[in-house]
Chain A
Amino acid sequence: MIELKKVTIAFGSNVVLRDIDLRVNKGEIVTILGRSGCGKSTLLRAAMGLIPIASGEIFVQGRRVDDIKERDMDEVRKTMGMVFQEGALFDSMTVFENVAFALRRHTKLKEKEIREIVNERLEAVDLEGAEHKRPDQLSGGMRRRVGIARALAMKPDILLYDEPTTGLDPILTATVVELILKMRDRYGATSIVVTHDLEAASRISDRAAMIHDGRFIAQGAIAELEASADPDVSTFFTIMDRRAAAGNAKQGRRPDADA
């Protein structure tokens, strides 16, 4: 479970997020929607303790984490996983070493067991056979999937996904969507997903929240948000639906066709 209470985040005098309240229950998948630069990724980074908050409180598994030492936060982070927008793979390591990183550092598993887990995670993201490649030999989509495999390696209780499907083709998007659902269904993982992809969001979300001008302006099921009378929410959905339709048309599919 993860909870943000009245969280405000500022960079100098620039307030990016103001009075954010969000509670994600165990096993729930909550999607954060909003325009580029509205602070969606900042929210994830604050939840992971990567940036300080100006005010408010953050709780992870019932423990307050916004005022604890970095060393104590590391213990909390062992139960969390984060998928970065561009993968953020360690470029001096192979794919295998990237995925095995946390297992080697934080568990006493034997190398053979680590190998089995890494292979399983790579298989889950359709990257079996890529373990010896270096990040610079991978496409953007492959890097993203290795990032997902790395975040899943320790089987975390909480997963934070920053634009996990952006730039992926429909088949890979479907793979990632299934993976997010599988982590919830099989392991009961709690997830926060930041995305622009409304189609993916509608498939994975138990709830969604939309940020505009640094505040949550709507929260609820995707269908509820879609039917919202708020002009900012409806404008966002209209524009994103048009973009999706244009994208589908480009690929020769009906706008309402399932990926």
Chain B
Amino acid sequence: MKHIAAFFESIGAGFMYFLEYIGRAVNILASALYYIGRMAIEWPITVTQMSVMGVNSMPIVFLVVSFTGMFLSLMLTQQAVRFGTVEYVGAAIVYVMIRELAPVLSAVVIAGRVGSAIASEIGSMKVSEQIDALRSLATNPVQYLVVPRMAALVIMLPVVTVFAALVSILMSYVVAYQVGGLEWMVFMKNVPTIVDPKIVIGALIKAVAFAVTIAIIGCVEGMHTEGGAVGVGRATINAVVVSMVLIFGLNFLLSMILFPMGP
């Protein structure tokens, strides 16, 4: 009986922690939206964060999406050459890259690089009383720390996603040309029939949703860090893990909502 009671207690405690976490995230998001709605945005900090989070993340994002596009192109081109369907290779790659892979991979890389940085930076400030110092100087930490990071990510992640899609398509074409001898016109022949503006808008909506998720999770973890250096490490890991799980879950949900009919 004791074990059964302990089992249910641990489930109950886990559920309470989950609810508390959601409450913290909603609270920070609502506060951030309040300041954004009043245009109380710290633009100098936001611009710095846009550079740190967006521009500096581009090389690694481009590397990841390039290799993914190249791998996809290698696989599809080899099969297409066998079955004589090479004119569909480009359309398939462009469709998958724009709709799914560019937003998700960009978000995953940025969650690893930026989400962890947000959690560790704010977490360090929390454990060294800098957040309390901010408040004692009549400065709201959400306005000063969360809003610039969220605004920077919401602006930069869609930009990174667009460039990531372009770079990955270009690199996948290079592989298709090398492996199957596909010319650019052949590669792009069926793209207009399958890729429409809705796909691009859907991808941008996803990028914005992922940006908010990464920023809020990083900030929630940072703002509630406890336990010194170990706590900062734990917050950093949690920020990355929770963000990544949410990105994949959200991507599935948004794909169902935004593209119910498929191509």
Contact = CB atoms under 8 A, between A and B. Distances in A.
A91 B130 contact: yes
Interface stretch (B4-12, B137-145, B240-248, B249-257): B137-145
A50 B136 contact: yes
Contact of B137 (A49, A75, A101): A101
A186 interface: no
The interface size bin for chain A is 20 to 34
Given A70-B140, A71-B140, A74-B140, A90 B135 contact: no
Given A88-B132, A89-B130, 10 more contacts: A45-B132, A50-B135, A84-B132, A88-B128, A88-B133, A89-B133, A90-B133, A102-B137, A150-B133, A150-B137
A49 B136 CA distance: 8
Contacts of B124: 91
Closest 4 CB pairs of A and B: A88-B129, A88-B133, A77-B138, A82-B136
Contacts of A80: 136
B136 A77 contact: yes
The interface size bin for chain B is 10 to 19
A90 B130 contact: yes
Contacts of A74: 138-140
A32 to B, nearest CB: 17
Contacts of B125: 90
A105 B128 contact: no
A48 B136 contact: yes
B90 to A, nearest CB: 46
Contacts of B138: 74-75, 77-78, 102, 105-106
A81 interface: yes
A19 interface: no
B130 A88 contact: yes
Report whether over half of chain B's contact residues are helix, strand or loop; otherwise say mixed. Answer: helix
Interface of A: 45, 48-50, 70-71, 74-75, 77-78, 80-82, 84-86, 88-91, 101-102, 105-106, 147, 150-151
B132 A50 contact: yes
Contacts of B132: 45, 50, 84, 88
Nearest to A83: B136
B32 to A, nearest CB: 14
Nearest to B42: A105
Nearest to A102: B137
A82 B136 CA distance: 6
A101 B136 CA distance: 12
A102 B130 CA distance: 14
B128 A86 contact: yes
B179 to A, nearest CB: 49
A207 to B, nearest CB: 24
24 contacts: A45-B132, A48-B135, A49-B135, A50-B136, A70-B140, A74-B138, A74-B140, A77-B138, A84-B133, A84-B136, A85-B129, A86-B129, A88-B130, A89-B130, A89-B133, A90-B134, A91-B124, A91-B128, A91-B130, A102-B137, A102-B138, A105-B138, A147-B133, A150-B133
Nearest to B142: A70
Contacts of B130: 88-91
A65 to B, nearest CB: 13
A106 B137 CA distance: 9
B139 A105 contact: yes
B137 A77 contact: yes
Interface string B123-167: 011001110111111111000000000000000000000000000
Nearest to A44: B136
Contacts of A78: 138
Contacts of A101: 137, 139
Contacts of B136: 48, 50, 77, 80-82, 84, 151
Contacts of A49: 135
A147 to B, nearest CB: 8
Contacts of B133: 82, 84, 88-90, 147, 150
A49 B134 CA distance: 12
A91 B129 CA distance: 11
Contacts of A77: 135-138
A50 B132 CA distance: 7
A77 B132 CA distance: 12
A235 B150 CA distance: 53
Contacts of B128: 86, 88, 91
Interface in B209-256: none
A77 B138 CA distance: 5
Nearest to A70: B140
A113 B137 CA distance: 19
